[in-house]
Structure 1
Amino acid sequence: MTDWPRPPSALTAAQLDLPPNGARITVAGLVILRQRPGTAKGVIFITLEDETGVVNVIVWRAMYERFRRAVIAGRMLRVTGRIQRDSGVTHVLADTIEDISSLLDRLLDPALSSAPENR
């Protein structure tokens, strides 16, 4: 992913080591994996990819119920939540999930990216 309209205030995967553990942050990227293990008691794990790497997102059952449509159907998501670091692994515990798949049109159609209204 290169030259895409990154949502304002969204950190890249490469920047996730900067905020302190527990900080509230926003990330955005393409959904490359969704996992709902039977042993996870309703927890869903989402992996997002941006131009710098991947972001691991944990979606608790209550957040899944609230943002179900975005979690199931979103191809590109903006997620706000708290950073959790444990044993060298960084996760984002989702508080808000927004489907921003419409931004994919700008990535897939160069004419849309260069149109005056999109600058």
Structure 2
Amino acid sequence: MIIPRLLKRLRKSDQVKALVAPSAIHGRFLPPHAATPALSLLYVGDDPVNDLGGEDNSRRERAQIDAWAPTLKQADQLAKAAMAALASRGQDFTAVRNGKTYEYDDAAQLHRLRLDYSFIYYED
């Protein structure tokens, strides 16, 4: 799955680490009462990769990355840092951003920027 690879890349990013501690990058949902700003990652699904030769060891998966913060400015800075961390094509995966949406969570009183990504990688 892509989530462990994402966690590793985001937790190593200097731009992300300048805004949040690695412990503020969560591998699923934002835990209740979590310190913010923070990132949460959610696996969305996968698409089979087929060519004329059939399936190979490449994988195409989708994930959602949420930047949570008390202010919209902080959420935007964190989302931009995450996008920069994923922009470079690495040996671990290639990322393509499909969209970015904004929400405000009234109950938590947090701004949320949701990044929708597709990833292509090869299984080890």
Q: Same fold, TM exceeding 0.5?
A: no
Q: TM-score, normalised by structure 1?
A: 0.29
Q: TM-score, normalised by structure 2?
A: 0.28
